[in-house]
Amino acid sequence: MTPKEVLALCRREEIKAVDLRFMDFPGTQKHFTIPVNTLTEESFEDGFGFDASSMRGWQAINESDMLVVPQPETAMVDPFMKNTLAMTCNIQDPITREAYAKDPRNVARKAEAYMASTGIADIANFGPEAEFFVFDRVWFDQNEHEAYYHVDSAEGQWNRGKPPEEHPGGFQIRHKEGYFPMPPSDTLQDLRTDIMLTLQECGVNIEGQHHEVATGGQCEVDMRYASLLTTADNLLRYKYIVKNVAARHGKAATFMPKPLWNDNGSGLHLHFSLWKNEETLFAGSGYGGLSELALYAMGGILQHAPALLAFCCPTTNSYKRFIPGFEAPINLTYSFRNRSAAIRIPVHNSSPASKRFEFRCPDSSCNPYLAMSAVLMAALDGIQNRIDPGMPLDKDIYDLSPEELDVFPKVPESLDVSLKALREDHDFLLRGDVFTEDVIDTWIWFKQTHEVQALRERPHPWEFAMYFDA
């Protein structure tokens, strides 16, 4: 939409408030609201001021003033707020009017611009499969003398032995048997359909919804592929709608990668392809029906994967997902069908236009603008430097000897390891000024200080089970 069309939409829908939204640096969506009569055509150029020093990882207090500039193409009538139109915004410096380097959406815009400048491709399409859990009840706390969490779901296997008045039905889902169950075992069908229909009403194209593998309410609603920036915008909309629909049903949704021990975690599998002049660049006669260019793109992603995971798997909890036996991608290799490989080539459609590969490492705790921009930059580096992706992993990993498995590099074991890899390997991200040294430095500092070190300092409940009687 144009600014004029946004204003017309406000009149037509009797909008009274405009919600201005943006993504902070670590990856949490923020907002503030203005009365609709303050939104003019000039607002889409002039923007609105706010205090950026209160945003994590952004401005110092002596240079706090910044601008949010609404983007008309992101406008939607909010399905949860009364008479409210929502728009995603870019962040600008109020003096120079330059796009802010630490604005994640600006990083994504620069990544697309850099891709176009190389002449390699004009569109990078991403199709995300975002998994999440929906719990009936959640409570947790951490302080100086106690640490605990408790999640519950009527579907959870742990409730099979409870009295009927607490959890009636007897149709609880066994661990790792939650893929495509029918109601009454699947208690979340109507909730997922509500999410699917709400997303469609808000302009997000949806391909389907289903229950996922884990017990205790694991779900997936699949979005149709789109360009990098559009997909990142849609993922913000997706998480907002999922959480609010769940709340409307009296439940709590989480995109935490591994909320349950001993069952599958939640990923953000990214289906990726490059296009030029409306034709795919990934169809060919190579392995899995891919082109040489696609294999080089794969090679770049695999070579830079330890550094990429600092953005794609950006929480300490992310690495608890990478455990053998839970369909997690633990090997930094590729395969035609094998889901234990970091990159999988789907086989269900032989159409050239459908040729793509699936990067299975990311999870939905990531900042999608930064994560997908980093993936694109790694793929472009692979193409520019003709990086060989190595040998595929086509066998069942459980049939391989330790010596055979040692040939394939593994995903990093912790966020700390990924951040160190990013420190040593980030030159490919700096091209085209897409990421800057300041962005990289701030990301590593923030994650090390506020997450890695914070977790390292605190006793873990399982340590009491192991060591209290030492």
* Active site (catalytic) residues: 51, 129, 131, 212, 220, 269, 339, 358, 360
Distance from chain centroid for Cα 362: 7
**Which tokens in the block code for residue 422?**
């990013």
**Which tokens in the block code for residue 291?**
């082109």
Measured CA to CA, the distance from residue 379 to residue 294 in angstroms comes to: 9
> What are the residues facing 279 on neighbouring strands?
276
DSSP 55-81: STTS--GGG-EEEEEE-GGG-EE-SSS
DSSP 182-216: PTTT---HHHHHHHHHHHHHTT--EEEEEE-SSTT
Please say whether the beta carbons of 86 and 73 come within 8 A: no
Amino acid of residue 425: D
**Count of alpha carbons within 13 Å of 245, Cβ hemisphere only?**
22
Measured CA to CA, the distance from residue 196 to residue 203 in angstroms comes to: 11
DSSP 352-408: GGG--EEE----TTS-HHHHHHHHHHHHHHHHHTT--------S-GGGS-HHHHTTS
Measured CA to CA, the distance from residue 171 to residue 61 in angstroms comes to: 55
* Bridging pattern class, strands 48-51 and 65-70: antiparallel
Please say whether the beta carbons of 20 and 35 come within 8 A: no
**Which tokens in the block code for residue 147?**
């640490």
Please say whether the beta carbons of 290 and 357 come within 8 A: yes
**Which tokens in the block code for residue 166?**
């607490």
Measured CA to CA, the distance from residue 133 to residue 155 in angstroms comes to: 11
| Positive or negative torsion for Cα 275, 278, 282, 284 | negative
Q: How many residues does the chain have?
A: 470
